[in-house]
Structure 1
């Protein structure tokens, strides 16, 4: 969801964000009702065919995002295998990959501004409780925007540490990273105040 929007134009790019979010919710509910290995395989096959139908480049990009799930899938399979429930583990892992695949498909075809506008409309009832839906949507946008920035800063700090020491950084970069995050937050707050805030 950070910068997942795909440059490959597909028919899904032109669909309203609310319809895609509804489809993700319905697909996830459907996946939770599937309890058999063949059913889970069918879900994953359907997801794969959908991605391929949107183009090989699009499918490759989505596959790279989903490949990041392999450690979680491995832990689920190992845990269930150790307890003697391989089939249940495969079903759980398959359903998780399917649900995250649907969410990835939505975020690859939906602009972040559209998702945040949808979130703001969904949070509108909170205004009756004295909360500001726009502020919550903005907070979500800032988290999404600054997560990759903080990951880049953490990587730079790790490289700087490795250039000066043969030891692994472990928690040594936690404090500098926290200070960098606070500094960024301070600059963003000043920029928001300068533009009138919320």
Structure 2
């Protein structure tokens, strides 16, 4: 699994994985429940910027994360604008962007092993219902890592195309991106199978 963890000494890095994941989940839920308005976009993006500044990770990493998900932002905003007015489209897109960036903040400040342990501890009570907490914890950790990993793969496809002098178009981007994404999924599946996860 590709790890996106960035070593650091800030308070967010020192916070245990369980409370950190719960706190970020609460923030994302609060942003998601805001009413649809111009202020929602302002609040969502402001809280995200404050989160990166307060955590010590900083605006440079935030701008890098935004750059990595620029295609997701573009496609989401374009899709919203087809069916909704500008205010609703911007509000919904900003909520989605905030959620992705906060998930990235969690992954950037927490080792994958610590996340797995925290999720497994939190899900342990479900074991009485016949649910395997270790499997669900692994699924959640993989899901949290997926968006930033796909964004990184998209960036590498774009850089490879620029290096070859390939003309930019949606088709010339999508096909290689799907190939590397499926290759990553196969490698992840093989790694999970090798560790006995079925």
Give the structure-2-normalised TM-score. Answer: 0.66
Alignment of 1:30-69 (within 5 A): 30-31=30-31, 32-55=33-56, 58-69=58-69
Q: In the aligned structure 2, how far is the partner of 1:84 from the partner of 1:139?
A: 33
Question: What is the Cα deviation at residue 144 of structure 1?
Answer: 8.1
Q: What is aligned with 2:132?
A: 132
Q: What is aligned with 2:194?
A: 188
Root-mean-square deviation (CA, aligned residues, Å) is 4.1
Q: Deviations over 1:102-155 (max 9, x none)?
A: 22212211221221111111221332233432354456667889997xx98xx9
More displaced, 15-24 or 61-70? Answer: 61-70
Aligned residues: 175
Q: In the aligned structure 2, how far is the partner of 1:146 from the partner of 1:40?
A: 24
Q: Structure 1's 52 and 140: CA in aligned 2 closer, same or farther, altered over 3 A? A: closer
Question: What is the Cα deviation at residue 67 of structure 1?
Answer: 2.4
Q: In the aligned structure 2, how far is the partner of 1:100 from the partner of 1:183?
A: 23
Q: Is 1:70 paired with 2:76?
A: no
**Contact 1:116/1:137 (8 A) holds in 2:** yes
Q: What is aligned with 2:116?
A: 116
Q: In the aligned structure 2, how far is the partner of 1:142 from the partner of 1:104?
A: 12
**Greater radius of gyration (CA):** 1
Q: Is 1:13 paired with 2:13?
A: yes
Q: What is aligned with 1:91?
A: 91
Q: Secondary structure at the match of 1:74?
A: helix
Q: Structure 1's 88 and 52: CA in aligned 2 closer, same or farther, altered over 3 A? A: same
Q: Structure 1's 109 and 185: CA in aligned 2 closer, same or farther, altered over 3 A? A: closer
**Contact 1:24/1:102 (8 A) holds in 2:** yes
Give the structure-1-normalised TM-score. Answer: 0.66
Q: Secondary structure at the match of 2:8?
A: coil
Q: Deviations over 1:41-76 (max 9, x none)?
A: 122123213323444x64322332232222222223
Question: What is the Cα deviation at residue 13 of structure 1?
Answer: 0.9
